[in-house]
Every structure is written in C-alpha cells, then in structure tokens.
Structure 1
Amino acid sequence: MNRPEPLAEIWRGPLLESVHAGHAVICDAKGEVVRAWGDPQAVIYPRSSAKMIQALPLLTSGAADKFGLTDEQLALACASHTGAAIHTDRALAWLNQLELTDDDLRCGLQMPSDKTASRDLICADSSPCQIHNNCSGKHCGFLTLNAHMQAGPDYEKIDHPVQQACLAAFEEVTDQTSPGYGIDGCSAPNFATTMHGLARAMAFFASARDGGSRMATAAQRLTAAMMAHPELVAGEGRACTGLMRAMDGKVAVKMGAEGVFIAIVPELQLGVAVKIADGANRGAECAIAAILVGLGVLDASHPAAQEFMTPVLRSWRGIEAGAMRPASGLLTRTG
C-alpha cells in the first residue's frame, strides 16, 4: 500500500511503542480532495463502510417504498450490528414481512458480539442463526430488492441482478470504474475503489438533498436513517453508535473491517474516508475521531471522543499504563 502516513500512536510511559499508519481523505461536494494524509490513490476494499452504497438500489429501484420500509429498517440495512435483541428482533420481523425465513439469508452464522445475546445463546445451549450475523440487515435489504426484481435466490453471487445493481451504484457515486472485488465476510462481493473514490462517495451522501435526483434522494434518506438510529447501525459500546450520539445526529459514521472508517458530514457537505494499513480498528477509530474534531463537528472533550480518540491504556489492576493519541497533524483544524 503506497505511502501510508502515521495516523495514530500508542504511548507506554515515555516511549512511543506502536504506530498505526494509513491513508485519510476529505472530499467536498464537487468530489475534490480538501485534505489528505497518505495516498488518495491507494486502492482499498471499503468493506462494511460501504453498506449505505450497497443499500442505494434498495431505494432507487422502488423496492423500499413498495414494501413500506421504515427508517429503522433503512438504518439496519446500513448496519454492522452486534446481534443484540434490538437488531435480531427487527431482522426477524423484516424476514417475516417478506414471507421468508432465516434460511433465505446468505450471510452465514455468526456468534453475536453483544454480551447479553451471546450469554443467552450459551446458557440455552443454542447456536446462532444468520440473523445474528452483523450483516443480516444488509442482507435483508438484498432480499427485499431481490423480491422486487423477482430474481433467483442466490442474491450474493457477483453475476446476480442484485449485486450488479450494487456495482452500478458503487461506480456512480465513487465516479470510478471498480478495478475488481473481493468476497466479504458475509459472502457478498465487496468492490474495490481508491481512497479518493470512497471519500467522494461519502461527499455525495453528505451533499445529497431530498427532492434531487433519485440517487440523491436515496442517499439523503439513508444518511438521515443512520443519524436517527445510531443504536441500530452498530450497538452499545461501539464507536459508530457512540460517535454519532456525541454529534447529536448531525453526522453519520460507519466502520468497515480491516481498519476502514467513513464519515458523512451534511452540514459541511464533506465526506471522509480512513484506512489503517495494518487493519487495526483502534487506529481507525482514533483517526476518524481526530478528523471529526478537526472539522469542528465533534467536541474533543466529549466522553465518546476521549474514549475512541485518546483512550487510556490500563493494566489488569487498573493502573494507567499509557495512552493512544492521534498522530501530529490530524487535529489541525480543517476548513
């Protein structure tokens, strides 16, 4: 990965112990790079940070309105959730609405990361279902689009009309031809793009207004749903949920696997993309929080900002042992 730049530092006592390097790009509504760290042309997989892009055809096709989807369902379609009851109950209800079952999902079984849900399954000597998968909301969206298209059941395949619609939307909002795809953890294709392309797509969401083009209206609805329901986009204790709450529903953020994080900032019409080269999520959390502080939309003194941007590292006895902090330059005011 070309020319990654230090973005997050780990200090233990007086010694800089570790550094997370990567790339970060801020784009404006015209698709121009406002500021960048590392290489804007680095090609990455957005992973789950692109779920709102994958949800665009759900709206532009008319499927969401045909099935009367709520804002909660739209937020869940963009989610990487913890498998808590607030997520799985809604996923199951969505499947029932479609007259489908857990077996119709193609995301695979996953133990929930929510401690209560995990404990309940273990105590009941039960196995997780596909609705526990962190991507089950996205896949419920795929199934809804598939029902509208009246296509075949293998909606996760690259040549299926659902995934071809996702690819078309992805290339439109990134304004780039994707160089290829990889298979995500949920078995669906994940299309590659550059850091600039991903930030440009987020700037499109940030500048989209209801009543514009069909794509812009869809982007605005998805962004609004995410900001209104941060608990559905991730879950308690997760960075996406905590940071969105800290910004009072004015910014949408979404993490992806392997150290990817995006932000959609409607009031500034800016899009942000972060990728940590070593794939560390803690580095991505630190970097995105620092950039949001630099943009003036996140208060550095807010507990959520401190939790993810400058967390204290402690020993198992609770003794303060070190801290994480943004690398020099990330906290410089942008704009």
Structure 2
Amino acid sequence: MTNAQLLAETFRGPFLENTHLGHAVISDSKGIVQAWGNPQAVVLPRSSSKMIQALPLVTSGAADKHGLTERQLALACASHQGAPLHVSAVSDWLKDLGLGESDLQCGPQPTRDNDLKLQMIRDGEPPCQLHNNCSGKHAGFLTLGQHLGAGPDYVDPDHPVQKAALDAFETVTDLKSPGFGIDGCSAPNYATTVEAMARAMAWFATAQTRNDTLSQAGARLAAAMYAYPEMVAGEGRACTLLMRAANQPVALKTGADGYFIAILPQQGLGVALKIADGTTRAAESALAAILVRLGVLSEDHPDTQRFLSPEIRNWRGILTGQVRPASALLA
C-alpha cells in the first residue's frame, strides 16, 4: 500500500524477523487529529464496519418493533467466537422471528470456543451457521429484511437491506464508496479510506450529542457495545479484553486481514487502522499502542500487555520472540 508506515515489528530472539507496515488515523468530528501512513488509502474495513451495517436495523424501527435488547444490538455488531452464549442468543433471536438456522446466509464456521469445539467433536456434531462469527449481524439483516417485507436473499448487493447498509455507510463516512468486495460471510463489504473510517468512528463517538434519528441509532449501538463486550467478541479475544481493561467506555471492533477500529465517546475520537500484510497480532499491537497513547489503556495492565507486546512461544513453551508496536505510535 502506498506510503504505508511501520506500525509493528516481530522479533525472534534479538533479530527483527518481520516488519508490519500500515495506515492509522485518529479523527475527531472535524477531521484528522493524527495519522500514520496514508490516510487516503482505500481499504475494505471488513468486520470493523458492522456497527455501520447495523444502523438501518435501528433507524427503520425494526429493532423496536421486535423488542431487541441492548445485548442483541451488541450481537448485531459482533464478530463473536461461536461460544454457547452467542449460539443460543442467535438461535433464540431467529426463533422470535419465526425463522431458523437455514435462513441464515453466512455459511457454517467451526466455533472458536475450545470447550464447545471439543464437545462437538466428541458428539460428532458438525458446525452450523449459528457458530459463524457473523451470525448476529445476519440475524440483524433478517430482522430488517422482515420489517421491510423484502425477499430472503438479503446478502444480494441489490437487496433493500444491503442498499440501506450502503446508504448508512456513505453517510457516516461522508464519502462515496468506490465499490465492494464479498466478505467471508457472503455480504457485500464496502471500501473507503482509512481517514473516512476514522471519521465515521468519531461520528459514533459523538452520536449521543445529537438528536437526529441516525445519530440516536449510532448512540444506541455504541452504548450496546460498551455494555456487552463479551457479546462483541468473546472470552480471550482482543476486543472484549481491551474493552474491559479500558479506564473509560470504548467500543473496539476487529476486522479480518489486519483492520481495527475504536470508538472513544469521552474524547469524541474515532480510530481506524489497517496492517498492510493482514497480520492480526500486529493490528492488535498497534491498536493497543494507540489506546495507551490516548490514555484509554494503562500500559502495565496485564491485558494491555497481552496484546501490546505479546510474547511468542514455541510448542515447548519456550519464549522465542515478541511482537512490539512501532515506537512512533507510543511517542
């Protein structure tokens, strides 16, 4: 990616083994506060855009019509790990709609919950779509589609659900998207600049200060994420643990291939970053460094250290290396 900047490094012993370049932007409602790399890099935000995709679920009145709870709204924004609490929550949500697992179009995915995975192997139970990390988002899509009286193919880019999601995306990023790619869950994922995505997160961070319908929807979704970090990701995951470790409300959302966002309501800031080589642990390290820089995380908190400078150990448990954020992020 053009003019990408060093954001993280991987060491093996004393040797620098990998450098992780990328782009990161901190934005307020007026524009860029600080940036690394190229703010105008056009990137697919992947699952980091889920809270944007969930906006029409609230603005349409579908969420209120179906009595969705704050916990369910957090799940609509989630990349969950398919743990029992996530699977049961999505299953119950679909039942309330008069639908079932077969109505989802996200595809089956093995659970990331180790205990459940082992139990399913022992029982000979194959993974299903409920275990997909995007099944909460898709339950939201189905809720909106039902409310709109639209057809079942809700992942089609021309479907009313996806047209509403695109309209919300271009509104809060304040930029026309140049196009989309099909995400791992089969829904279209719209591209935008890193700056525009950070601006959108600042929009969410300040949404509670405005009274228009879209902003109030953004405020509700962000508040749901602050309140239910375990629904946004799950135990052991960076989003959940760093949200809990923060000294102020924060919504964090990872996206595949090295994307990450943060919503900081007390500071009115949004953060977006992309690691060019798609390495997740490098994205987690860089994001943690920015949150330390902004005073949201304490550097000595064990969960901050877990992602800021994670140790790398081999199969015998021997310490072999470490991931470290670029010094420019902490300076």
Q: TM-score range by the shorter chain?
A: over 0.9
- Given that residues 80 and 232 in structure 2 are in contact (C-alpha distance below 8 angstroms), is that contact kept between their aligned partners in structure 1? yes
Name the structure 2 match of 1:180. Answer: 179
- Taking the aligned partners of 1:10 and 1:185, their CA distance within structure 2 comes to 27
CA contact (8 A) 1:263 1:272 kept: yes
Equivalence for 2:70: 71
Q: Distance in 1 between matches of 2:325 and 2:308?
A: 7
1:12 offset after TM fit, Å?
A: 2.1
Match of 2:245 in 1: 246
* Offset from partner CA, 1:88-108 (integer Å, 9 cap, x none): 000000001101011111111
| Equivalent in the alignment of 1:202 | 201
Q: Structure 1: state its 5+ residue gaps.
A: none
Structure 1 residue 249 displacement after superposition: 5.8
Q: Give the direction of change, closer, same or farther, for the CA distance of 1:58–1:249 in structure 2 (3 Å limit).
A: farther
| Runs of 4+ with >4 A deviation | none
- Over the matched positions of the two proteins, sequence identity in percent amounts to 60
Equivalent residue, structure 2, for 1:24: 24
Q: Distance in 2 between matches of 1:320 and 1:155?
A: 47
- 2:18 corresponds to 1:7: no
Residue identity in the other structure for 1:4: A
- Please give the TM-score of this superposition, normalised by the length of structure 2: 0.98
Instruction: For 2:16, give the aligned amino acid.
Output: L
In 2, the alpha carbon distance for the partners of 1:105 and 1:314 equals 38
2:295 corresponds to 1:267: no
Which secondary structure state, in structure 1, belongs to the residue aligned with residue 169 of structure 2? helix
1:123 equivalent to 2:122? Answer yes
8 Å contact from structure 1 (residues 25, 199) kept in 2: yes
Q: Which segments of 5 or more consecutive residues in structure 2 lack a partner in the other structure?
A: none
Tell me which residue corresponds to 2:82.
83
> What secondary structure is seen at the aligned counterpart in 2 of 1:68?
coil
> d(CA) in 2 for partners of 1:248 and 1:67?
34
Distance across 2 between alignment mates of 1:93 and 1:248: 33
Change (3 A) 1:29 1:9: same
- Displacement of 1:312 in angstroms is 1.5
CA deviation profile, 1:197-242 (whole Å, cap 9, x unmatched): 1101000000111661111111111111011111110011110011
Using the TM superposition, give the Cα deviation of residue 323 of structure 1 relative to its aligned residue in structure 2, in angstroms.
Answer: 1.5
Q: Deviations over 1:145-175 (max 9, x none)?
A: 0111011010110000000000000000000
Task: Please tell me whether the aligned partners of residues 258 and 280 of structure 1 are also in contact (alpha carbons under 8 angstroms).
Answer: yes
- Corresponding position of 1:310: 309
Q: Contact 1:7 / 1:287 at 8 angstroms: preserved in 2?
A: yes
Q: What are the residue-to-residue correspondences of 1:313-332 with 2, within 5 Å?
A: 313-332=312-331
Match of 2:172, SS? helix
CA RMSD of aligned residues (A): 1.0
Give the secondary-structure state (helix, strand or coil) at the position aligned to 2:107.
Answer: coil
2-structure distance, mates of 1:304, 1:232: 18
Report the count of equivalent residues. 331
